[in-house]
Copies of this chain bind each other. A is one copy, B any other.
Amino acid sequence: MSPNVYFVGTRCTGCGASFPPDTDILLCPDCESLVDPVYDLERFRTELPGLELDRRPPSIWKWRELLPVSDFEKIVTLGEGGAPLIACPGLARTLGVRALYVLDDGSSMPTGSLKDRSIAVAATKAVEFGYHALSCDSTGNKGASTAAYAARAGLRSIVFCPWDTPLPKMAQALFYGARVVRVRGHFSEVNAMYRRLLRVDTQGKSPWYDCGTDNPFRYEGKKSYAYEIAEALDGVAPTRVFHPAAGCMSLVKMQKGFEEMLQLERIDRMPALYACQSEACAPIVKAWESGAATVEGVEKGATVASALAFADPGLLGNATLATLRATSGGAVSVGDDELLAAWKELGRSGIFCEPSAAISLAAAQRLAESGELDSDDVLVCNVTGSGFKDMETLLKNVVVPETIVESYDELRALVREL
């Protein structure tokens, strides 16, 4: 055993109840609020120089002392994290800001989406707690990731997804060996049934380890965004970070990660954090704009950003609202037209992402157009999934040449025209 002395337990964000680090917990058993892992940050700060973090490869485990795992020997990893932060001076000029960076998860995640940052932590907890299987509810990406890490850890996996989940995403989960269960309904409905199954029917004693929407350990993996951005920018934090929002615990955990970096004197300021949603399904934006304290469910319309269409994010949405307020950020929705335009713009910059993931750039562009950005701004747009995740939309948006060159003479003639 290689113990993590800095992870000291979890605490309920509602009633404040505390739980020891070895407690297998999802929501607070007393008040049903989200719980949050706690670390001995002061001790970590003191001992940090001796840990030689700078020499570790950039994965989510580089800052493993600030992840809620108790035994480093049990870490389940496929090399997730260490996404490149790509400077895009052309886009910065277009938006009239000092700098714009794209954090390209799609090109550095084993299963092609941001889910790997969090599922790697969940799989590690499953091994620590002695489970034999992982489970999750998913619109596709989380299922593929859960299946991959289960395979890596030698566990079984079961994925519950809306019946109309894109075939390739289901196929990926199946390839890793998952049992895939298709459920009639959209994601909020599947999510409700899945929670009921795991909580009510098993009295919290599910035989599968839940990598779904309430797992407090899983979400901590998303703090790695803050660590990676802080390190890539050499301690000068961006002014604003834009993130594609379903739940969106990524923003909540980025806030936590940036606050830790600030306390560790690894950055100089907190960035403002922005939730980016599709106009067709924007419960967080609706709550933000109306000044509500909680997020209400909405009707889900049709959008190309299917991975973000979480119509009723519940507690997660409320936590996100609090983060947007605390960091002086905001919530922005865009239409599919803007989204697809931003996606193509990324392609012309050499970045191939799934259309949903381009929403962070589309939202930044929307703010630029409405005059809310400054010329001094340094923006980071998190691009959270690979272009390979949605080839259907890609094939609809390019024109594959029908002409076939039949001979060398034809080739030479064609080339002379170019």
Contacts and interface: CB of A to CB of B under 8 A. Distances in A.
Interface of A: 54-55, 57-59, 77-79, 82-84, 86, 90, 104, 107-112, 148-154, 158, 160, 163, 167-168, 170-172, 174-177, 179-184, 193, 196-197, 201, 344, 347-352, 386-389, 391, 394-395, 397-401, 403-408, 411-412, 414-415, 418
19 contacts: A55-B55, A78-B86, A78-B104, A79-B108, A108-B108, A112-B388, A149-B350, A152-B350, A163-B404, A168-B391, A168-B395, A171-B394, A172-B394, A175-B344, A175-B352, A182-B405, A184-B407, A386-B388, A388-B391
Contacts of A171: 391, 394-395, 398, 400
Given A78-B84, A107-B78, A171-B391, A348 B404 contact: no
Contacts of A79: 83-84, 86, 104, 107-108
Nearest to A350: B152
Nearest to A193: B408
Contacts of A86: 78-79
Contacts of A149: 350
- The number of times this chain is found in the oligomer is 2
Contact of A406 (B184, B197, B405): B184
Contacts of A109: 107
Contact of A177 (B57, B183, B347, B414): B347
Contacts of A388: 112, 386, 388-389, 391
Contact of A391 (B158, B181, B348, B391): B391
Nearest to A90: B154
Contacts of A160: 411
Nearest to A111: B352
Contact of A181 (B54, B154, B167, B411): B411
A352 B172 contact: yes
Contacts of A395: 167-168, 171
A16 to B, nearest CB: 34
A181 B415 CA distance: 9
A90 B154 CA distance: 9
Contacts of A154: 90
A148 B414 CA distance: 23
A111 B404 CA distance: 25
Contacts of A163: 404-405
B412 A172 contact: no
A174 B398 contact: yes
B90 A175 contact: no
Give the 8 A-B residue pairs with the shortest CB-CB distance, closest first: A79-B84, A388-B388, A152-B350, A151-B350, A174-B398, A107-B110, A163-B404, A175-B347
Contacts of A400: 167, 170-171, 174, 180
Given A171-B394, A176-B348, A183-B404, A57 B54 contact: no
Contacts of A153: 350
A196 B408 contact: yes
A351 B83 CA distance: 18
Contacts of A398: 171, 174-175
Contacts of A351: 78, 110
A284 to B, nearest CB: 27
Contacts of A84: 59, 77-79, 110
A172 B387 contact: yes
Given A111-B352, A149-B350, A58 B55 contact: no
Nearest to A112: B388
B104 A405 contact: no
A115 to B, nearest CB: 13
Contacts of A349: 151-152
Contacts of A104: 78-79, 110
Given A182-B404, A386-B388, A391-B168, A350 B176 contact: yes
